[in-house]
Structure 1
Amino acid sequence: MTTPLLCATDLQRRHGETVVFAQVGLTVQAGEFVAVVGDSGVGKSTLLNALAGLERLDGGAVHLQGRRVDTLPEEAQALLRREHLGFVFQAFHVLPHLSVRQNVALPLMLLQRPDAARVQQVLDALGLGSLGERLPQQLSGGQLQRVAIARALVHRPRLILADEPTGNLDPDTAAQVMQALRQQTREQGAACVMVTHSPAAAALADRVLRLTRQGLSPEARPT
C-alpha cells in the first residue's frame, strides 16, 4: 500500500480547559486536494497551523511522507517547512519592502535555488505576470492574496496548506486561484489541505471534511 503523503492521527488541541478539537484523523494521498469546512471558532486554522508545526498539539501525531514531524526539534521543523511546505496565510504576510517578484521568489532564495523562470511561471498562472515590480502597497487585497498563494507554490512543496485562499477574492479571481491550486497539486504530486467557508471553493476539492470538536467527518456533497 502506498504511504500517504500526509497522515495525522488522533490530534487534540486545548486552550486551557477548553477542548478546541479532539480525535482528529486525516490521511491525504499525493495529488489529492482536500477541503476542511466547519463553524467559526471550531479550530480550522488551528488545525492547519498544527499540521505545519506552527502550533503545538496536546495529543496525536503528524507524519509527512512516512516521517513523524510533530516531535522534531524546532530547527528541524523550520527546515522541513522551508523545503516541503507551502502555507497560504489568511493574513497574507507579504513583506511590504519587497516587490511582488521578490516576495514570490523568497522561498527559492531561502533554499538557495533562485529560478527567475519559475517565479514568472507562477506569477503568470495567478494573473500577476505584469505586476512583478510593484510593491505590496500598490496592490488590491485580492492581488495581495494571489501574491501570497504564488509564494506558497513557487518552490513546488510536497504539502500545501491554504487558509481561506479565496476569502478576499471576487468570484472570477477566486476561480482562477482555485484552478492554479488544483493544477499545482496535480502536477507536483503534492497534497493540498484547504480551510474554507466558500461552498464554491470546497466543491472543487476531491473530498470535503467537516471539523467539529469531535474530529473530522466526510461532508455530504450537494446532489
Structure 2
Amino acid sequence: MLELKGLVKRYGSTPVFAGVNLALKPGEFVAVLGESGVGKSTLLNCIAGLDTLDGGSVHLDGQDVTTMAEPEQALLRRRDLGFVFQAFHVLPHLTVAQNVALPLLLLNRADDARVACALDEVGLGGFGDRLPQTLSGGQLQRVAIARALVHAPKLLLADEPTGNLDAGNAGRVMDTLVRQARAHGTACLLVTHSHAAAERADRVMELRSDGLYAV
C-alpha cells in the first residue's frame, strides 16, 4: 500500500534524514519512534506531498506520489489519505458532525448516515450537533479519528495523536485508532515519541538521520 524508497530531506545545507525505506501492507499498522527534531512530522508531510523531497520516491497503492503534479497530489490526499494530528485541527465554528463530514464534502459524497455511523464507531453517537469547545481533549481526538476514516482512505497518517492527552485518554484514543483502522482495513503509519502508543503497532521502527531501523 505504501512504499518509501531512499527518501532524503534537507533544509538548505542541513540534513534531516536520508536513506529512508519502508514497505507498508494494506491494513498494517507501523509506528515510527524518534527524538524531537529528527523529522518525524516532516516524513509524514513528504509522504503526503505537503513537503518536497530531495531524493527518493513515495509510492501509494502503486502510484508514484513524488512525480505527480500538485492538483493530482491534492486529489490523492482527499481521496486516499486520512490525517490525525496532535493538535486535533478540528474547526471550532463547525459542529462535530460538520467536522467529520468535511472529507466527504470535498469528494462530493455527502452522506449524513455515514457521518452518524462514524461518530457511533468512536463512541460519540449523539454528539453531532455539539460544538468542539464543549468537548474534552480525548473526545476531540476521537472526532479527528472519525473525520480521518469517514471516507475509507487507503492510508492513515497519525502525527503524535496522543501528545496532548493524559495517559488515560491517550490509551482510549489509541484503542479507538487501532480498532477503527483495522475495521476499515486501512494501512496506518503513526509517528510518536510515546513507547506506549508504539507498542500497539504491528511493527515499530526508529527514525534516525540515516534511515529507518526496526526496534
State TM-score, norm by structure 2: 0.95
Residue type matched to 1:109 in 2?
L
Give the match for residue 14 of structure 1: 10
CA contact (8 A) 2:142 2:176 kept: no
Q: Secondary structure at the match of 1:79?
A: helix
Quote the RMSD (CA, aligned, Å): 1.4
Q: Structure 1 residue 105 and structure 2 residue 101: aligned?
A: yes
Structure 1's consecutive aligned runs of 4 or more residues displaced over 6 angstroms after TM superposition are none
Among all aligned residue pairs of Structure 1 and Structure 2, give the percentage whose two residues are the same amino acid: 64
Give the match for residue 209 of structure 2: 213
CA–CA distance in structure 2, aligned partners of residues 102 and 143 of structure 1: 15
Aligned-residue offset at 1:211: 0.2
1:169/1:84 CA distance change after superposition, 3 Å: same
Give the match for residue 91 of structure 2: 95
Give the match for residue 201 of structure 1: 197
From 146, 155, 160, give the equivalent of 1:159: 155
Which is further off, 60-69 or 129-138? Answer: 129-138
From 37, 41, 49, give the equivalent of 2:37: 41
CA contact (8 A) 1:149 1:165 kept: no
Give the match for residue 170 of structure 2: 174
State TM-score, norm by structure 1: 0.91
Aligned-residue offset at 1:53: 0.7
Aligned-residue offset at 1:36: 0.4
Q: Structure 1 residue 132 and structure 2 residue 132: aligned?
A: no
The gaps in structure 2 that reach 5 residues or longer are: none
CA contact (8 A) 1:11 1:59 kept: yes
The gaps in structure 1 that reach 5 residues or longer are: none
How many residue pairs match? The answer is: 215
